[in-house]
Structure 1
Amino acid sequence: MRAEGATKTPAAARTAVVWDALRSALAERAAATGRRALDIVDAGGGTGGFAVPLAALGHTVTVVDPSPDSLAALERRAKEKGVGVRSLQGDAADLGELLDRDSADLVLCHSVLEYVEDPISALTAVAGVLRRGGAVSVLAANPVASAIHRALAGQFDEARAVLGDPRGTWGDRDPTPRRFAAATLAELLTATGFSVGAVHGVRVFADLVPSRLLDGEAGATEALVALEQVAAAHPVLRDIATQLHVLGHRL
């Protein structure tokens, strides 16, 4: 059974690379543990874009999110799909207080490190709830892509600011508090007790291609997904992707 997020819809071009990595990680963990149903925590999982499809695959999924509105939407989404997802209100840094130690096989930490007060504390909490050998899936905004997108919008001063700011932001009005280069993500994971896997680029082309090129064009979405999957590991294109994805395994 394929996960909902992996179907060939226009939105799939934005998430296909992440789903590929998750499927591989889940298969490896299932083989290592002998359990087909794994325990998954989605920190900052919001309305369940990843959590609900993972629950539909038979895994036990817990979403931790600070927004009660997002958790309510998650519960509605899960009900519509006929699956059960546990929801808890809290931040990524609260995982140790909300969940048992060594209780998860996989933790999703997608678009979270940009917003938490202290990324090190958040990843330390993630490591605490993971079983040895378990994995964290980190997805984070890339400053280089932000500079490209600001320049394409004609905001040249903001593009320059991104490249010169250690947090990767373009100014006080930037809604994203920080962004991460691949090397920085690797350093954060190493510092919090993880071995670092390959870094992949997510949305290398998907955010640059006009939607009109996908609408009504037979096979266009599938072709873009295939392009994203190849570009994800390209030594140059990876580093201009909108987001960077990396798996870390708890030592």
Structure 2
Amino acid sequence: MTNDHHFDQLAPRFSRNIYANLKGQLRLALLQDDLQPWLTDKPTRVLDAGGGQGQMSAIWAAAGHSVTLVDAAEPMLQQAQLLLDERQLSQRVTLHHSTLQAYLPGAPQFSRILCHAVLEWTRDPRALVQQLAARLTPDGVLSLMFYNRHSLVLRNAMGGILVKLQQDKLAGDGRKLTPTNPIDPAAAYSWLEQAGLTIELKRGVRCLFDYMPRITQRAADFDDIIALERPLREQEPYRHMARYIHVVARRSAPA
């Protein structure tokens, strides 16, 4: 397994391929759906762990929360600063240039931690889950979204890339946006439970869209696609076919 992967060199491609098209818009909108009960709660301290270009930090800051965004890629943080300045939210968000492994051990506790599309780029995802859980306040909530290994199996099969399946070599090489360590959902659920967290929400993110032909994706209407996605997100088998799995888990308060 390689070391943790950071997006210093891939930041422009990340912005173009993730946020500047329909699939990124769907991902962000579906996460907002899931987090709405906590987003509209009373203002609190939020950690955006590996928060990249700051889209989620901006949403939480606009709702009145105090946010700390930590990311290891300086170009990502520069983009986040531009976004926060543009939306006049800089005073509510503190940016930290650091790996999570370096930042978390001495960090304060947070009542809300967001960690989206980070786990699959780490060498030891189980250890990162434990570190994140340790920084939650009692009754605090972790929002964890990770790249689903099952979807990568299905996508490679549909594309006829059988050698990767036969050799069980699904990981990316770090030069593109295929994660270096795609996550088996059952393993992630187990890590959360081992870290003392109780899963309260478990939904797929983009159950259908990523399997549509490219010509259909390019012509698709956002409202039509999200209307198709929403009813399937907690249904099997669609939930565990999704490109990402989003889990919200709570740390129990002392009795």
Q: Flag whether TM exceeds 0.5 (same fold).
A: yes
1:92 to 97, 100, 103: 100
* 1:197–1:80 CA distance, 2 compared to 1 (3 A): same
Tell me, yes or no, if structure 1 residue 207 matches structure 2 residue 207. Answer: no
- Asked if the contact 1:161–1:171 (Cα under 8 Å) also holds between the matched residues in 2, the reply is no
Q: Report the equivalent of 1:232.
A: 233
Which residue of the partner structure matches residue 185 of structure 1?
188
In 2: Cα distance, 1:82 partner to 1:180 partner: 36
Unaligned runs of 5+ in 2: 1-20
Count the aligned residue pairs.
226
In structure 1, how many angstroms separate the alpha carbons of the residues matched to 2:105 and 2:215?
47
For the 8 Å contact 2:209–2:217, the answer to whether it is kept is no
Per-residue CA deviations over 1:55-107 (Å, capped at 9, x if unaligned) read 1222111111111111111111110111122111122223434521x3x1211
1:208 partner amino acid: Y
C-alpha separation in 2, matches of 1:98 and 1:72: 24
Structure 1 spans left out of the alignment, 5+ residues: 1-8, 31-35, 163-168
Q: Displacement, 1:140?
A: 0.7
Equivalences for 1:1-251 in 2 at 5 Å?
Answer: 10=22, 11-27=24-40, 30=41, 36-84=42-90, 85-100=93-108, 102=109, 104-162=110-168, 169-170=169-170, 173=173, 175-210=178-213, 212-213=215-216, 220-251=221-252
Aligned letter for 2:170? W
Q: Contact 1:95/1:125 (CA < 8 Å) preserved in 2?
A: no
- Measure, in 2, the Cα distance between the counterparts of 1:106 and 1:235: 28
The alignment's C-alpha RMSD in Å is 2.2
Aligned AA for 1:87? L
Q: 1:16 to 1:159 in 2, by over 3 A?
A: farther
Spell out, residue by residue over 1:154-194, the C-alpha distance to the aligned partner (whole angstroms, 9 max, x if none).
212213444xxxxxx42574742222232211101011121
